[in-house]
Amino acid sequence: MTEPEQYSAFSDGGSLYAFWTRDSPSPYLSKIQRFDAGARVWQTVFEDDARVGVWKPSAGRLAFVEYREPFQGGGASDQKVLILDLVTGKTVSVDTFALSAATYHGGGGGPRRAGSGVALGGGTVAWTRVNELSGGNTEGELRVAPVDDPTHFRTIGRSQVWIEPLWIDSGMLLYLVGSTTGDEIRARDLTSGVERRITSLAAPGVGAPRGELGRSGDIIGWTGQESVQGAPTMLHTVNTTTGASRDLDLGPDYCYGLSGNAAGFVWACKTSSAPVSSLSYFDPRAWKSVDIVRSPDRLNQLEAYENAFLWYDVVNGARRANLLVLR
């Protein structure tokens, strides 16, 4: 069973982890917990006086960004990029940066501005450092470094609109760079430095809405509403090796929360108030859906992680996390 303060969970190496955060103003308190299946208890792996922002797990490690606000700081913040060993609980400090109150633009609705991001894989970490410029403006700087020596980093690119690492493995970095009119997904060979464009996307807020990006092997997918009114929803895919693209009509419902692993993609659609009784993933190579589970227990929030699927249900009024590990 999950606890009320656990706002999100993830899987790595066949284990279930959760983020625990105290709901209060600064100073914050957050924990990263691992579920002990034998003892049926949650064990704290890491604890700190910060909120956990963006994060990515990979092969027994978790890269994440801590966020802190000074008391009555007027929107000023400090951020730290860390890599956590999920077994030992030890951390490696990757980077730290601070933004003054001049950079804070509360209330929402303004133009997109550079934010922090992180990706981890193959002994390499990539992250977006946010630099403060004059006049309260900010710039995202995408850096890449070895996990074992993050001080020896390389800068891949910069943007005052948006730049974000997506995935990194086998010497290849996939990242997104944005502008006010459109976004691009690019691939950078970290050995040769050769870069190529994978595909172009509409920028958020320009035209119809775009959903989250997910990856299944060499295929990237995302959902998008094909009109401002939001119908129909389409699954868009592109092969990062060949550049071939393919789309799937998901129907008139709003679909969101796409994620992927080697098996395929998963997402959720708002269909009706009736409980969902089955969950499946979509195999983009066979171009078909494959059932994962059938149950009357109000299935919800299916997510894909490396070699695993995670979902929630409700049993006797209690929210429960379920993990299916792929062998």
Average pLDDT, the chain: 88
CA max distance for the chain: 56
| Predicted local confidence at residue 107, as pLDDT | 57
pLDDT of 101: 86
**Residue 228 scores a pLDDT above 60:** no
* Phi, psi of 116, rounded to the nearest 5 degrees: -75, 155
Q: What domains are defined for the chain? A: 51-206 (2.120.10.30), 208-327 (2.120.10.30)
Q: What is the pLDDT of residues 44-98, one digit of tens each?
A: 999 998 889 889 999 999 999 999 887 656 778 899 999 999 999 999 999 999 9
- Token code pair at residue 306: 């490396």
Checking if the pLDDT of 135 tops 90, the result is no
Closest CA to 143 of 47, 260, 40, 63: 63
State yes or no: pLDDT of 139 exceeds 60: yes
Residue pLDDT, tens place only, 235-246: 999 999 999 999
- Size (the chain), residues: 327
For residues 203 and 94, what is the distance between their CA atoms, to the nearest angstrom?
Answer: 29
**pLDDT score of 256:** 85
pLDDT attached to residue 27: 79
- Split at pLDDT 50, 70, 90, the class of 109 is low
Whole-prediction pTM value?
Answer: 0.90
- 60: tokens are 């027994």
Residues 6+ apart with CB under 8 A from 143: 95, 126, 127, 128, 129, 153, 154, 155, 156
Q: What is the pLDDT of residue 147?
A: 95
C-alpha distances in Å from residue 110, one per residue of 77, 107, 303: 19, 8, 30
Q: What token pair was written down for 248? A: 């799937």
Buried b (16+ CB within 10 A) or exposed e, 75-93: ebbebbbbbbebeeeebbe
The pLDDT value given to residue 318: 84
* Chain Cα centroid distance, residue 149: 24
Tokens of 252: 């008139």
The pLDDT value given to residue 23:
81
Q: Which of the two residues, 307 and 180, has the higher pLDDT score?
A: 307
Tens digits of per-residue pLDDT, 196-219? Answer: 999 998 877 666 667 889 999 999
| 192 band by pLDDT with thresholds 50, 70 and 90 | very high
Instruction: Name the 3-class secondary structure at 234.
Output: strand
Model confidence pLDDT, tens digit, residues 262-319: 999 999 887 656 667 889 999 999 999 999 998 888 888 899 999 999 998 888 888 8
Which whole number is the average pLDDT over 171-187? 93
- Higher-confidence position of 185 and 209: 185
What DSSP element (H or E) covers 187? strand 182-189
For residues 212 and 235, the answer to whether their CB atoms sit within 8 Å is no
